[in-house]
Amino acid sequence: MDKVAVYLIYDRAIDEEVLGALQACHLDRYTRWHDASGVGANGPHLGDAVWPALNNVLLAVIPAEQQGQILERVRALQNEFPYVGLRAFVVPVLEMI
């Protein structure tokens, strides 16, 4: 069974919505990093006095056939929150130990 890694980088303000979308897809295994900083299309998220916003990053390794369902949910969240940063990246998992 082929697997892919789905990385989500998103404004921590929508953490509950992202987790809810993943639960709706029956995705219950992931790793999440809190309070990641960076600069993207929605501006700086640096966690300082000037740019106080921060991101969360989530990684889930899933069967490749499930990625369409996850990406569909991410697109729906992007439409629901158009001014909040939310990106998804899918990469093949070549080997896993």
Give 16-21 contacts, CB < 8 A, sequence gap 24+: 17/77, 17/80, 17/81, 18/56, 18/58, 18/77, 18/86, 21/73, 21/74, 21/76, 21/77
Q: Which amino acid is at 37?
A: S
Please tell me the predicted confidence (pLDDT) of residue 18.
97
Phi–psi pair at 13, nearest 5 degrees: -65, -25
Contact call for residues 84 and 18 (beta carbons, < 8 A) = no
Residue 1 has pLDDT above 80, yes or no: no
Please tell me the predicted confidence (pLDDT) of residue 43.
84
Contact call for residues 1 and 63 (beta carbons, < 8 A) = yes
| Mean pLDDT (the chain, rounded) | 94
